[in-house]
Amino acid sequence: RKEVEQDPGPFNVPEGATVAFNCTYSNSASQSFFWYRQDCRKEPKLLMSVYSSGNEDGRFTAQLNRASQYISLLIRDSKLSDSATYLCVVNKGYGGATNKLIFGTGTLLAVQP
Amino acid sequence: GAVVSQHPSRVICKSGTSVKIECRSLDFQATTMFWYRQFPKQSLMLMATSNEGSKATYEQGVEKDKFLINHASLTLSTLTVTSAHPEDSSFYICSARDVAGQASRGYTFGSGTRLTVV
């Protein structure tokens, strides 16, 4: 089983749609969680951190359920510029040897005009 | 914000030669940097953790003698792919986190190096 699992998609949605991505992780000791965005042939860029209380940044809302080891990302009012691969990322530890990011395979979003 | 500069962005080399990739933290100190590899349509896979002033920690299955890592200063880590072969062709990306900053800022990535071995 992969440490971080995502539906690879693609998700093809019209402009203005709301789309949700899900992610599960296997290591219950994981400490911090992120969503990154990666455009084609580019490096990943941090979209937002994910907290147990849930957090929102404009059109983006992230949720974390530690009991279910489940992370979600909701995008409202999709824009063409949202088209990218969204990576679910988990940090396994605070420091030392366990302090490293584990990436999901990513979910491809294609927003259609 | 934290910026990581990676160079070169693209390199084409002949089979059997070595290629060095540099990763610099421009406005912060990074005692630890991470090296990833990404094959087409796959996710980033951590290769090794680069530690300033000490040996790198390699992930299982990554040959340390093939992928030489040097982290000689708080702002520079290098990855050398030795005796490169076509199967080493990939997108190599480094990352680091400003330890003086907040953990919620995540990790900053270099722009990546696309290596093609012919």
A73 contact partners, CB below 8 Å, separation of at least 6: A20, A21, A23, A35, A47, A60, A61, A62, A86, A88
Backbone angles phi, psi at A84, to 5 degrees: 180, 180
Contact in structure between B38 and B90 (CB atoms under 8 Å): yes
Residues in chain B with CB shorter than 8 Å from the CB of A89 are: 106
Q: Do B43 and A49 touch (CB under 8 A)?
A: no
Question: What tens digit of pLDDT does each residue of A17-74 get?
Answer: 999 999 999 988 888 899 999 998 899 999 999 988 889 999 999 999 999 999 999 9
pLDDT value at A102 more than 70:
yes
Backbone angles phi, psi at B3, to 5 degrees: -125, 135
- Please give the order of strands across the beta sheet that includes A4-6: A4-6, A19-25, A70-75, A60-65, A55-57
Query: What is the mean pLDDT of the segment spanning A81-103?
Result: 80
How many Å lie between the alpha carbon of A41 and the closest alpha carbon of chain B?
8
SS3 label, residue A80: helix
Question: What tens digit of pLDDT does each residue of A44-59 get?
Answer: 999 999 988 889 999 9
Residue predicted with more confidence, B118 or B2? B118
Comparing CB atoms, the residue among A43, A49, A106 nearest residue B109 is A43
Which stretches of chain B sit within 8 Å of chain A by CB? Answer: 32, 34, 36, 42-46, 49, 57, 91, 93, 95, 103-112, 114
Query: What is the mean pLDDT of the segment spanning B17-45?
Result: 91
pLDDT at residue A71, as a whole number = 96
Contact in structure between B115 and B19 (CB atoms under 8 Å): yes
Residues in chain A with CB shorter than 8 Å from the CB of B108 are: 46
Q: Do B43 and A36 touch (CB under 8 A)?
A: no
Rounded Cα gap, residues B113 and B26, in angstroms: 17
Q: How far is CA A111 from the centre of its chain?
A: 17
Question: What tens digit of pLDDT does each residue of B9-26 get?
Answer: 999 999 999 999 999 999
Write down the mean pLDDT value for chain B: 90
pLDDT value at B105 more than 70:
no
Residues in chain A with CB shorter than 8 Å from the CB of B95 are: 101
Identify the CA nearest to A37 among candidates A92, A107, A98, A96: A107
Interface test with B, best of A87, A101, A105 (most B CBs within 10 A): A101
